[in-house]
Amino acid sequence: MKIGIIAHLRHPIAEPFAGGLEMHTHLLARALRERGHAVTLFASTRSDPGLGLEAICSETTLADVGTAEASDVAFFKEHHAYLSLMNGLRHRDFDVIHNNSLHYLPVTLADSLPMPMVTTFHTPPFCWLESGVRLCSAKEHSFVAVSQSVAALWDHVVRADEVIFNGIDLDNFAFHAAAAEEGYLVWYGRIVPEKGLHFAIEAARLIGLPLRIAGPILDDEYYRTRIAPKLGPDTIHVGHLAHSELARLVGGARAFLCTPIWDEPYGLVIAEALACGVPVAAFRRGAIPEILDAGCGVLAIPDDVASLAAAGLAALSLDRRACRRRAEAVCDAGRMVESYEALYRRRIAQRGPQPGVLNLDAGLERRPVSPDGRLYA
């Protein structure tokens, strides 16, 4: 199949990943290419060129413009990039387009495309995307949710056609039969308020084990006021790690503390920890209860430090092999990619051959044909 993937533009689709959406998009594009599909990734300029990249926008950072201007500049750059892309796709010969962005324009303009589109919901509804979804009138379009939780949150706007769990490359997160000798807990992810790192720091001190923190600082004020003052010999931010370093850090932990203060749509960090054999203590929010079971994780009352500490202590005794088995059962990227391939093929088959169109070559203009097969001028 010839597949176009539309990415989120705020961060490059490249390591080290800014977050789970960037990692997911990278994995999906790479896996589809490895399976023999012709994949084009429409993403920002510093994305991985090995993914069939067509850069449609440069990233906007605070270094480029003043802080007060950054949001407006980013909005207009993204708007122009997606509008130009959707206009251009009307004249391309892709079999299917996978919209993996969080922007309203691709889904709003889906009915202008000659090929089917699949849009994945990676977040709960928010005003701009919800507005675009409500305006989507394309018949050859499918909505996918990354969890039952996300599907339920979108149900008042549109019914998801399928739920396809996100997945990870299990080979990239090696199983660790035992934790590192020094004995520590781990928290990793984007350092922003909604990820709740401050809860993990307090719970780790109640548990009585050191905490190692990894991830990019994407909210300077939150880090400066809520996190940095709490760092010390027992609580260390090791930085934004490349994948191999991160996998070693996570695999050596005795448990992973997961502390979202919003309804987590999926939780790739949980899948990664389980793949490494690391038990999870997490707030009961969003899709987290769909991923964890009693053999690999312990759920805590949201926003309750004492409950999280108790969950963390209980998680220390869980079987690391059971954690890996759970990852293999529900978090495997191979299962995810096969599910998307099957969906693509169903949408292409449902569309069927287009009457009056002869595709002489992918690079030639499509022109109408008469009933006897002769090409009109």
Q: What is the pLDDT of residues 319-329, one digit of tens each?
A: 999 999 999 99
The parent domain of residue 238 ranges over 170-330
> Are 113 and 32 contained in the same domain?
yes
Global pTM value: 0.82
Does residue 376 fall inside a structural domain? no
Domain-located, residue 377: no
**Do 83 and 148 fall within a single domain?**
yes
> Do residues 224 and 77 both lie within one domain?
no
- Is it true that the peptide bond before 216 is cis, omega within 30 degrees of 0? no
Total number of domains in the chain: 2
The pLDDT assigned to 360 comes to: 34
**CA-closest candidate to residue 151, choices 120, 127, 126:** 120
For residue 300, the domain's CATH number is: 3.40.50.2000
| 13 and 67 part of one domain | yes
State the pLDDT at residue 352: 62
- Do 278 and 175 belong to one domain? yes
pLDDT score at 65: 45
Shared domain check, 191 and 44: no
Give per-residue burial for 303-315: e unless 16+ CB within 10 Å, then b: eebebbbbbbbeb
Look at residue 356 in the predicted model and tell me its pLDDT. 43
In a domain, residue 145? The reply is yes
| pLDDT score for 362 | 38
Element holding 225 (H helix, E strand):
none
- 244 and 340 in a single domain? The answer is no
The answer as to whether 26 is a domain residue is yes
85/218 same-domain check: no
Low-confidence ranges of the chain (pLDDT < 70): 60-70, 352-377
In a domain, 273, yes or no: yes
373 is a domain residue: no
Residue 88 within a domain: yes
Residue with tokens 């701009």: 128
The closest alpha carbon to 157, from 189, 132, 120, belongs to 132
| Cis amide linkage into residue 371, ω under 30° from 0 | no
Shared domain for 12 and 69, answered yes or no, is yes
Same domain for 13 and 140? yes
Contact residues for 310 (Cβ-Cβ < 8 A; gap 6+): 300
pLDDT of residue 75: 83
**Cβ neighbours of residue 72 under 8 Å, at least 6 residues apart?**
none
Query: What is d(CA 130, CA 224) in angstroms, rounded to the nearest whole number?
Result: 33
Identify whether residues 99 and 243 lie together within a single domain. no
Question: Is the domain of 217 the same as that of 186?
Answer: yes
Read off φ and ψ for residue 95, nearest 5 degrees: -75, -35
117 SS3 class:
strand
Residue 375: inside a domain: no
